[in-house]
């Protein structure tokens, strides 16, 4: 994709949406920002990968910078999975009731787990911030 037209892939379009409804304004904005946004998303994913690869005991400790990078990476993964699951068209109950042999059942399990992980990480950051204030 050129950096002034939206991506053809629906996942990439969700990760790199148009900033404006007007096509000319959207193209202009995209031309100046898409490379930076792509690089930031890649850096977030690489931060997660590096820390996970270095975790010898299965645990990972995150400082604020890495926690924020992880939140970005988790959010991007959930956005991508959400597009594939069509979460905007399907109810939570419908996704919960996917047949055991439906290939999307595993995708939904990962999507849900990442939601829990994202919420837990946000809560830990809020608790940490509250402790710093007190």
| Rounded Cα distance, 77 and 129, in Å | 26
- Percent helix, strand and coil across the chain, each rounded to 5? 70, 0, 30
Contact between 7 and 1 under an 8 Å Cβ cutoff? The reply is: yes
Total H helices, total E strands in the chain = 5, 0
pLDDT string in tens for the chain (134-residue length): 467 788 889 999 999 998 999 889 989 999 999 999 999 999 999 999 999 998 878 788 899 999 999 999 999 999 999 999 999 999 989 999 999 999 999 999 999 999 999 999 999 999 887 777 65
Q: What is the pTM of this model?
A: 0.86
Phi–psi pair at 5, nearest 5 degrees: -120, 150
């Amino acid at each position: 994709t050129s950096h002034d037209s939206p991506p053809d892939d629906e996942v990439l379009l969700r990760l790199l949406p148009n900033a404006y409804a007007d096509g000319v304004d959207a193209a202009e904005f995209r031309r100046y920002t898409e490379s930076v946004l792509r690089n930031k998303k890649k850096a977030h994913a690489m931060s997660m990968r590096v820390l996970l690869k270095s975790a010898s005991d299965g645990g990972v400790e995150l400082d604020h910078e890495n926690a924020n990078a992880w939140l970005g990476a988790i959010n991007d993964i959930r956005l991508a999975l959400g597009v594939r699951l069509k979460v905007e068209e399907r109810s939570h109950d419908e996704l919960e009731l996917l047949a055991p042999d439906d290939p999307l059942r595993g995708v939904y399990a990962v999507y849900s787990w990442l939601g829990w992980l994202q919420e837990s990480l946000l809560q830990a950051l809020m608790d940490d911030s509250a402790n710093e204030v007190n």
